[in-house]
Structure 1
């Protein structure tokens, strides 16, 4: 019996790891131990409830005004203690969060093998996104097994002389959609937007705080004022800086609805009803193409170039005019919109969790 410790701590990690946990628990040869760090709290718990995942351990690290130093040190120490207690054969981490880095580092220090889900994503700009680009590159050095979502991710690892135990599995984000998207979904906010072109907005990245975020919001406001057939919904991040900036620039527009963060089922279904999406997030770049939704990525770099190559994403940066004109073009150019909406999803077919579970169960041989 192989003991697998799964560690994650944020909402995006939970969305992508819960389908994998469900699949792993089906395997009779695996003992699965689930640990959450609570790097996010309320938003994390919402996702766990949706997938009916009850953690075996919860570090509950969240505290007011916590810093990267607080998160890293606390998770490092608590993961060490947990590894000593349960002696896992492998620790699975996901992506690029501080939870991912600290848990992987603790495993490395305790000489426990690390499996990295969503391995190989890169911007090659250590400050963009910050600190995620450092986290994922550091975890690649530590990991024994690399579950790469795409051929490009695999090639990134190979170019870094990481030559062993790389498996192309697709992205588990696509698996989650089969659980969350509902055919007959209804919501009062969608009723509010009925008859309009609904724009979904997410914006919260640390490197975009300040002037970049203001430019993003100003571009969105210009479009809303010019196009009466457009409404926008913005599930706002908990960060007080984001909230203050949004209130200042977008708060008085009656066709922009700023709401509290949505549970994962709601958010995925809102995306499914949207006309297009503006985001600085990572996971949305993978999810939206499966729903046939064009995405404007309000960042200077992206670790998901496959979507740009496939035509599902467009990288527009954080300059106000660039966002404004790209946004406007998608609203008025029906041919361009159709091309982006019909592009295929390069990130998976909804069977990624099954592939990863097969690999783990059968001893990391080629499947």
Structure 2
């Protein structure tokens, strides 16, 4: 018996985390996989898919310039409903906490289609942080049929919310699958970033700080504070290279280039494909980010991480002592980054490998449980 599985994603982080699962499902007996991209991060999505040697079956391209979240949600509901009506999948897989994820789940629920939620159960307890992600993942959990939390922490969150244990499978996080596959793949093909002009200017003999930032809750004062901290650090450490792949969101670009474009040791580069970004993480001395996925990736390769957020839905990384929440306070960012750059004992303590998010086989666990559930679901529906 063959089952039709539809995977829906729209942003770069979703694509990175769903790509290893897609590669597994494409080879899994009895699974017919359809990958639907909503195009929420259209240019950056192509980079990810190319890096993982994947193609999509359907590209909705729902984004328009200046689009609000309500406008995006409207287009997602309309277009995904048409896709579901045409394909009628046996289950729809969504990831995490984006607007694409929640609306894809909602559209499936309205058509009585089962929903599988990858990276389920992450919580901060604050609907405004991160915004709108915390609401998106909580709402998705209410209507999902299968939940794939990465850790026991995440499972406990689901159980407290009333999700039956039999509907939950702890799998680890697929981002570790993605990270390990890409690092192995780079070694196998003896890949080197020299052909990338943005990376070829970096000096191997100088320390490098890698930065990413794009959270909506940091727009405005938060981003200005972060950029000022980076400017202060660049002035304090002229021998250190600060590399910032700048997100394509116009509000991010404006804030970053206004403050940092004239700093000689700050390299503002275009968003990198995942292959190049994994190289940058491996090359970095420390990493500063407001991303969710990098909180899982950096500790897995032993990179000290300062998180530019007030709260995290990933408490397991804090327990390992390799990640520190610094928020968007300029003084605190400069203080903690300086400590890592100046104090060898602090750096050594935070640079050990700590990977609470799995062993790189989360995708196989998801595929196995998915097939078991689909077989049981199909048998019960024919009785």
Query: 2 CA distance for matches of 1:186 and 1:243?
Result: 24
Per-residue CA shift, 1:239-291, capped at 9, x if unaligned?
22221211221111100000111111101111110001000111111111122
Structure 1 pair 208–9 and aligned structure 2 pair: CA distance change class (3 A): same
Q: Deviations over 1:311-354 (max 9, x none)?
A: 12100111111111111111112122112111411111110111
TM-score of the aligned structures, taking structure 2 as reference length: 0.93
* Distance of 2:154 and 2:206 partners within structure 1: 38
Aligned residues between the structures: 366
Q: Supply the distance in 2 between the matched residues of 1:193 and 1:281 (Cα, whole angstroms).
A: 26
1:362 CA displacement: 2.2
Q: Which residue of 1 is the match for residue 250 of structure 2?
A: 240
C-alpha separation between the residues in 2 aligned to 1:341 and 1:161?
A: 38
How far apart in 2 are the matches of 1:7 and 1:24?
A: 14
| In structure 1, C-alpha distance between the alignment counterparts of 2:138 and 2:274, rounded to whole Å | 28
Kindly provide the CA deviation profile for residues 57-97 of structure 1, in whole angstroms up to 9, marking residues without a partner as x.
Answer: 11111211111012111111111111111111110000001
Paired residue secondary structure (1:39) = coil
Unaligned runs of at least 5 residues, structure 1: none
> CA 1:365–1:279 in 2, change beyond 3 Å: closer, same or farther?
farther
1:133 matched residue in structure 2 = 134
Does the CA contact (< 8 Å) of 1:24 and 1:32 recur in 2? yes
CA-to-aligned-CA distance 1:87-112 (integer Å, 9 cap, x gap):
11110000001100100000111111
**Secondary structure, counterpart of 2:123 in structure 1:** coil
The residue that corresponds to 1:276 in the other structure is 286
Coordinate RMSD, CA, aligned = 1.5
Matched with 1:175 is: 177
Q: Secondary structure at the match of 1:342?
A: coil
**Which whole-Å CA distance do the structure 2 matches of 1:264 and 1:318 have between them?**
26
Residue 192 of structure 1 and its aligned partner are, at CA, apart by: 2.0
Does residue 8 of structure 2 align to residue 7 of structure 1?
Answer: yes
1:41 maps to 42
In 2: Cα distance, 1:63 partner to 1:218 partner: 31
Q: Give the 3-state SS of the residue equivalent to 1:24 in structure 2.
A: helix
Contact 1:90 1:114 in 2 (8 A): yes
Is there any run of 5+ residues in structure 2 with no aligned partner, and where? Answer: 377-383
Aligned pairs for 1:250-261 (under 5 A) are 250-261=260-271
Q: Structure 2 matches for 1:155-166, cutoff 5 A?
A: 155-164=156-165, 165-166=167-168
